[in-house]
Amino acid sequence: MKKKETLRQLIEEGELLISNSFNRNYIIEESRIANLITGEKHPPKYKNILIIEKEKGTLWKNNCITYLNYQLLNKDEKEKFEAFFPINRILGKDISKTSMEQSLSHLKSLYEHYPFEEAIILDNNINNKVEKIFISHAEKDSEYIKLFVKLLNNIGIINKDKIFCSSIIDYGIPNREKIYEYIKEEFNQNVFVIFFLSNNYYKSAASLNEMGATWIKSNEYQAILLPNFEFGDMRGAVDPSAICFKINEKERLNHFKEDLSKFFELNIVGPNHWEDARDEFLGDVERLIERDKKKPLEINIEKVKKAGDNIEVYIRTLNLTNNPIEILEIDLELIDKSGKVFENTLELNQNIFPNENRVDMQIIEVGSTEFNGNRVDYEKSKIEVHI
């Protein structure tokens, strides 16, 4: 896909976001002074703010950032452009129409004045041989991904230079490498991307960046759906009309194996060997599915916020059963964006009603630790419940 055409599409998508947005009134000043005659307070002052649908807005923002990083600007140009293009400060929360239109104005200026040189970009589709499989997934889905990599190994895709998977040390990012620079270099190869889509995937900024990079670089890809994620849930840069399948579909796996064999010019394994490997994989996947079904509780960290020497931790708990459940303790392992770790055990003795879905805020003292409660890496942080 040509650079200028890609930028035009981003501009059109941004304009569509605005046209599909809605307005909301926010109180910006509430009077505490009462009218001397009637005794009533003066009416509050409102500000009308344009609200962008958060998920779609986040995808658009990630695609813009990926476009700048992977396709268009070199380091010096990017720093100059980001100085006046507030893409990193918008769409994280409710935004104003002025901020959105300002960003689009800068993109349009770039479209009109940037000296596009189409020959600079490597078109991966020109190469007739896939060099590597890039597995794009959410870290929280790593158990399924490890089973899939084992299946790849069983059909002869073993070497480290043929697979990139961040959840497996042998196929991930080497020590001392910068994460984003390393992944960027991976996308400069002719990679075949496999998306493992799930609700966790769409909550992961890193995963969405990989999806955006695939779209920007026009890589070949295959979408595979993990359990409890349906075809209608697909969104973003993945084409919903393209053939995709669920991870436990036997016949689709058979066809996919043939595709991979052609991509990598592999000697096709014998039918008995493949069927044994495939059936072992499907059995392991079903065991994970059944295990997850038996979980009585679903618990997640919704938000962490620093408050002086304390942090406020918002925890969502969903009782998946028709019976009350008593939570005895919760173990927290919070990791911030710089890798600093904070651990704590909460003694609760809290009852959760049948099918209850609730959010509780816990205040925890952190003291003078270097852990930054305002920059928590939710993908790496862990929570464990004892009932």
Residues with catalytic function: 210
| Domain match, 204 and 280 both | yes
Model confidence at 167: pLDDT above 90: no
pTM summary value? 0.62
| Domain match, 253 and 148 both | yes
| Domain match, 104 and 134 both | no
| Domain match, 345 and 283 both | no
The segment with the largest mean pLDDT, out of 6-10, 45-49, 52-56, 88-92, is 6-10
Q: pLDDT at position 83, please?
A: 47
Domain count, the chain: 3
| Domain match, 344 and 267 both | no
Model confidence at 181: pLDDT above 50: yes
| Domain match, 260 and 319 both | no
Eight-state DSSP code of residue 30: -
φ, ψ (nearest 5 deg) of residue 204: -100, 115
| Domain match, 143 and 283 both | yes
Average pLDDT over residues 194-205: 88
Band of the pLDDT at 70, cuts 50, 70, 90? low
User: For position 165, which CATH number holds?
Assistant: 3.40.50.10140
| Domain match, 283 and 257 both | yes
| Domain match, 182 and 277 both | yes
Q: pLDDT at position 76, please?
A: 55
Band of the pLDDT at 75, cuts 50, 70, 90? low
| Domain match, 269 and 370 both | no
Calculate the alpha carbon distances from 210 to 39, 166, 217, 225, 249 in Å: 59, 12, 10, 16, 25
| Domain match, 341 and 198 both | no
State the pairing for strand pair 22-29/221-225. Answer: unpaired
φ, ψ (nearest 5 deg) of residue 41: -70, 150
pLDDT digits (tens, 9 = 90+) for 118-150: 434 434 444 457 788 999 999 889 999 999 999
User: For position 362, which CATH number holds?
Assistant: 2.60.40.1620
Q: pLDDT at position 24, please?
A: 55
Q: What is the dihedral of CA 199, 200, 201, 202, to 10 degrees?
A: 60
Domain of 48 in residue numbering reads as 3-119
| Domain match, 157 and 108 both | no
State the pairing for strand pair 245-246/221-225. Answer: parallel
